[in-house]
Amino acid sequence: MIRNDIPMIDVRNISKYFGNVVALNGVSMNVYAGEVMCLLGDNGAGKSTLIKTLSGVHKPSAGEYYVEGELVEFNSPRSALERGIATVYQDLAMIPLMSISRNFFLGSEPGKGWGPFKRFDVQFATKVAQEELKKMGIDIRDPSQPVGTLSGGERQSVAIARAVYFGAKVLILDEPTAALGVKQAGVVLRYIAQARARGIAVVFITHNPHHAYAVGDRFTILKRGQSFGTFTKDELSREEMVRMMSGADELDALAHELREFERSEQLPAESKLAEIEEALSEG
């Protein structure tokens, strides 16, 4: 697919070393506005390291990082956030005992009054939180209820709605559906699709090929710190993806190996059995 517009984020030949560990080795990837890029790969493939680089947590050891065509160097997650790059981690930065609306505005509280008289504007926060969640199709009866009373999926949704409200242009999600049941995961996938419909560029990490295929437009596959390539939906069938991600090839090879193993063990095992039988009948 050839596009003329500039990608929202574009990394080229990014490497990241932790001492002797090569977490990323020359990875290139880009994401356009209004698309969902899925980041796939085994445990330890480098997915989290890549998105931490995108979100300003890590500085790349080598390579370039462009945001809307401009070369950037982020020193902190805050500087990435200022460019509209918001990240939602699996262990969400939310306070369970605080209300939904309070959590919605955590870190950017709308104030009322001035100076020492400034206080959190509860009414405004409640109204906005409820409206924004509603826009995402989530109906919270009482935004003053503690976040701890929400399900995992609803909590993820609040975090996504919050990022969208605060003007995220890029939304990065690190395994938001990993701990969720089928129905709850569906809720989160719907918000991902909503965010895309609003023109946001989404980077979505998941281990679940069905979740990836449901919302993904393109798929970047990482393997031991290297990119295996980026594929569009036309280039990668659901079956191929399921097969690849479930490690079916590895399992087939393993099954073959186990059969071989069985066969070569057969003779000694049988003679051993005869020996034992003999010993038993003698005794």
Q: Is 76 left (phi over 0), alpha (psi -120 to 50) or beta?
A: beta
Report the residue number, 31 or 54, with the smaller CB distance to ligand ATP.
54
Under the criterion CB under 6 A, does residue 247 sit at the interface with ligand ATP? no
Under the criterion CB under 6 A, does residue 48 sit at the interface with ligand ATP? yes
Contact 11, 65 (CB under 8 A): yes
Q: Cα(47)–Cα(58) distance, rounded to whole angstroms?
A: 13
Q: Cα(191)–Cα(156) distance, rounded to whole angstroms?
A: 9
10, amino acid identity: D
Q: Cα(124)–Cα(121) distance, rounded to whole angstroms?
A: 6
Report the residue number, 161 or 222, with the smaller CB distance to Mg ion.
222
| Site size with ligand ATP, rule: CB under 6 A | 11
Q: CB of 63: closest distance to ligand ATP in angstroms?
A: 15
In the structure encoding, which two tokens stand for residue 7, read together? Answer: 């990608």
Out of 25, 48, 206, 220, name the contact with Mg ion by CB under 5 A: 48
List the x/- string, 49-78, binding to ligand ATP by CB under 6 A: x-----------------------------
Strands 218-223 and 62-67: unpaired
Report the residue number, 190 or 207, with the smaller CB distance to ligand ATP.
207
Under the criterion CB under 6 A, does residue 44 sit at the interface with ligand ATP? yes
Report the residue number, 44 or 199, with the smaller CB distance to ligand ATP.
44
Q: Cα(216)–Cα(201) distance, rounded to whole angstroms?
A: 11
Residue ranges that bind ligand ATP, judged by CB under 6 A: 18, 21, 23, 41, 43-49
Residue ranges that bind Mg ion, judged by CB under 5 A: 48
